[in-house]
Each structure stands twice: as C-alpha cells, then as structure tokens.
Structure 1
Amino acid sequence: MSSTTELDQLHELIGGLRRCVTSLASRYGDTVAMRRIVNDAERILNDVDRLDIDAEELNLARGVSHHHRTLEKIGIPDTQYASDFWQDVDDEGLGGTR
C-alpha cells in the first residue's frame, strides 16, 4: 500500500465484505460453513486493522514511503572458539559422536 487512495479502496472493499457476510449469515443462519466464513472475514478485518497501524508507522497514510536503509554487516571470524566457550553445552546431534 503506497497511498491513501489504495487504503481507502481497501476499506471500501472490506465494508463490502462485511455487508456480504452479514447478508449470508442472515440467510443461512448459524451453520458450520457460515461460522467458517464469518471467522475468515473477521480475520481479514483484523488484519486490515493491523495494516492501518503499520501504515501509520510507515507514514503510508500520508503517501510517503521510506526506502529500506542498508544495514551494517557484522563480520564473523573463522577462528576457533576457546574450548571453555562450549563447556557444559550438549551436542544436539549433528550426526557426530564425542
């Protein structure tokens, strides 16, 4: 989602989903299949609520997108660890024996 317009469209679609599920539930009542549909719709609605929170955090609600910054790489040396580093550690089974 990169703009307010897209978020607005999503909310319109979610409103339509809510109306359809309500209509289906009134027509078919409390059946197992209908409960699944209601649960799925609720999960989608909750995810969209979470998307709104994330969009605010990323300032997408104002149409501003941020590029990911390059993270600093941390070098890991190839040297052996001191033997006491592994003291009291269990071998979880890489196939070898002690």
Structure 2
Amino acid sequence: MITAEMNELHRSIGVLRHHIVTLKTKYGDVDAVRRMTNDLDRLEIDLHDFEHKPPPVLRAKGKEDVIYVPDSKSDEAAWLGAQDEGLGFHSRERTK
C-alpha cells in the first residue's frame, strides 16, 4: 500500500539523488559523496522493503490506557525498609 507519505519520500529521495550527483560532478568521487550515495541507496532499499511488507499499524492510545496517579502524599509506611540507592538523598535515614 503506497501512501502520500511514501510518495513524498520517493520524491525526496529523487531530489537528494539529484543533489548528490551535483556534488559528485563538482567534487569528484570522494569518500563523503560515496557515503552519501550509499546512505541514499540504503534509504531507498528500506523504503521499498517497507512498502512491500509494512509493519503493523500502531493503535492510538485510548482513555483505557491512561493510569491515574493521585497528587496526594503516599503512605510512608509502604517505604519503610526500602533502600535509597541511587535516589540521591543518602543523608537522611529512611530504613528503620
């Protein structure tokens, strides 16, 4: 299935290829131009693969995916005995 986004990518790849040919004409077959050509070829291959076997479409997150976390202070007793490693406040005693 070809979408408007994929058509735009094909157009953009064509424009980039034109500019890379211009660079190659001006600077010759230097390493940077070869790498850009290789990157563009890889992008074209990936787009072709994507078009012929697209991944599943992600579903939009709905209201059921939202988890409410209250702003109220949590029960300190739940944290007694927990270690403070990596939390950045080692100066006060948390474990009892």
TM-score, normalising length: structure 2 = 0.49
RCO comparison, higher one (Cα < 8 Å, 6+): 1
Bigger radius of gyration, 1 or 2?
Answer: 2
TM-score, normalising length: structure 1 = 0.48
